[in-house]
């Protein structure tokens, strides 16, 4: 899933083609790091030619920019609101998108195997477990084994003591549009429900022009999440 801030909604709804675009196309990003950092990471992913490295350039041409990846997160089912550090609108992609998604153990801007140099595909996830953060890997193992070997983790999650915020980064390759969405989740606090309902209506009206089956779900934030 991909998490964005609500102030990005207007720019999304202004795109006549209904496309989700990367930092090179929009000029904005919610991630840390400079364009030089992003260039180095995406070069390590195999995009040197598109980035112009083979031509002595420091970035892609406007035509090539759309070929660079868009970013998402592989998270636990105990993170229904995605990665709030990046925003409060959650875009959940269809399962078919996974086939053209790669993953890194941590943020791809991280150094060595934790970042872009540890990139792997959807059928070979071992590097995520080998080089991912301790909390992320522990939770992944616990869920994969139905908490048989980590009942403490299950108790912490069930009682809302531990609220996971870690993730494996995902890089989605190729065009990404509203037709690729399964649903949108809008977390909200009780006092902001009216604004959330307005945002949900706008997103649904626009999104269903490209994806008639799209769902927009309102999810109230409480102390257990």
Q: Give the mean pLDDT of the chain.
A: 92
Cα torsion angle, 139, 167, 125, 105, sign: negative
Give the span between the Cα atoms of 68 and 60, in whole angstroms: 9
Q: Is 223 a residue whose pLDDT tops 90?
A: no
The owner of tokens 């990367």 is 22
pLDDT given for residue 46 in this prediction: 92
42: its two tokens: 């995406």
* 217 neighbors 184 (Cβ within 8 angstroms): yes
Residues 107-124 have pLDDT tens digits of: 999 999 999 999 999 999
Token couple for 29:
């990003």
Residues near 85 by beta carbon (within 8 Å), at least 6 away in sequence:
165
Residue 33: CB atoms within 10 A of its CB come to 16
Q: Provide, rounded to the nearest whole percent, the portion of the chain with pLDDT above 70.
A: 95
Per residue in 17-72, pLDDT tens? 999 999 889 887 777 668 888 889 999 999 988 988 766 666 777 678 899 999 99
Query: Residue 54, Cβ neighbours under 10 Å: how many?
Result: 9
The answer to whether the CB of 160 falls within 8 A of the CB of 78 is no
| For residue 225, pLDDT beyond 50 | no
What's the whole-model pTM score?
A: 0.92
Alpha-carbon torsion (173, 175, 180, 186), positive or negative: positive
């Amino acid at each position: 899933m991909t998490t964005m801030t609500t102030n990005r909604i207007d720019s999304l709804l202004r795109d006549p083609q209904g496309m989700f675009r990367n930092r090179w196309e929009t000029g904005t990003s919610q991630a840390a790091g400079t364009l030089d950092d992003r260039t180095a990471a995406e070069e390590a992913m195999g995009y040197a030619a598109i980035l112009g490295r083979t031509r002595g350039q420091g970035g892609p041409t406007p035509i090539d920019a759309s070929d660079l990846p868009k970013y998402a997160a592989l998270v636990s089912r105990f993170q229904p609101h995605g990665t709030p550090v990046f925003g409060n609108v959650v875009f959940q992609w269809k399962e078919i998108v996974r086939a053209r998604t790669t993953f890194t153990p941590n943020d791809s801007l991280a150094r060595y195997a934790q970042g872009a140099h540890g990139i792997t595909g959807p059928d070979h996830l071992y590097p995520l477990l080998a080089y991912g953060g301790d909390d992320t890997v522990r939770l992944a193992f616990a869920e994969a084994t139905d908490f048989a070997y980590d009942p403490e983790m299950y108790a912490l999650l069930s009682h809302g003591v531990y609220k996971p915020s870690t993730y494996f980064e995902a890089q989605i390759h190729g065009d990404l549009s509203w037709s690729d969405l399964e649903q949108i989740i809008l977390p909200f606090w009780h006092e902001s429900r009216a604004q959330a309902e307005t945002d949900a209506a706008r997103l649904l009206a626009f999104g269903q022009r490209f994806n008639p089956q799209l769902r927009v779900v309102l999810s109230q934030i409480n102390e257990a999440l």
